[in-house]
């Protein structure tokens, strides 16, 4: 039996639809199982654990927690400022090149 291009394309489309449906239901099933057996219990226990953890912290530990965050943000600011400067430099170089190419043509 010979398969023409049109027949081949129809079979290919039917197979693609079939496997797309299988993939859809498989992903849906896995996502539901993941939610039911992992995420739901985690979120149910997470609130109590986090609340208990922060209630046990002393005032000094709270201050250290926020101080560490501020120090980390200060370091991150320095890195981001360097990146911004580098991006602005590259932007200016690109604009100069663009203007040069525009005037040449």
pLDDT tens per residue across span 92-105: 999 999 999 998 87
User: What are the start-end ranges of the H helices in 1-105?
Assistant: 5-34, 40-56, 59-104
With a CB cutoff of 8 Å and minimum separation 6, the contacts of 3 are: 11
Distance CA 50, CA 37 (A): 20
Residue 23 has pLDDT above 80, yes or no: yes
Q: What tens digit of pLDDT does each residue of 33-87 get?
A: 988 888 888 888 888 888 899 899 898 988 888 888 888 899 999 999 999 999 9
Task: Work out the pLDDT band at 1, boundaries 50, 70, 90.
Answer: low
The answer to whether 65 and 57 are in contact (CB under 8 A) is: yes
Domains of the chain by residue range: 1-56, 58-105
Q: What is the pLDDT of residue 42?
A: 83
Tokens of 60: 């000094």
Once rounded to an integer, what is the mean pLDDT over residues 26-36? Answer: 90
**Cα 29 to Cα 3: distance, rounded to the nearest angstrom:** 36
């Amino acid at each position: 039996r010979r398969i023409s291009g049109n027949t081949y394309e129809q079979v290919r489309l039917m197979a693609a639809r079939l496997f797309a449906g299988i993939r859809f239901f498989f992903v849906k099933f896995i996502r539901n199982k993941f939610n039911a057996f992992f995420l739901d219990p985690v979120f149910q226990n997470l609130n109590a654990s986090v609340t208990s953890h922060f209630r046990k912290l002393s005032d000094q530990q709270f201050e250290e927690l926020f101080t560490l965050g501020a120090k980390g943000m200060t370091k991150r600011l320095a890195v981001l400022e360097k990146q911004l400067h580098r991006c602005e430099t590259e932007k200016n170089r690109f604009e100069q090149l663009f203007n040069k190419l525009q005037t040449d043509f």
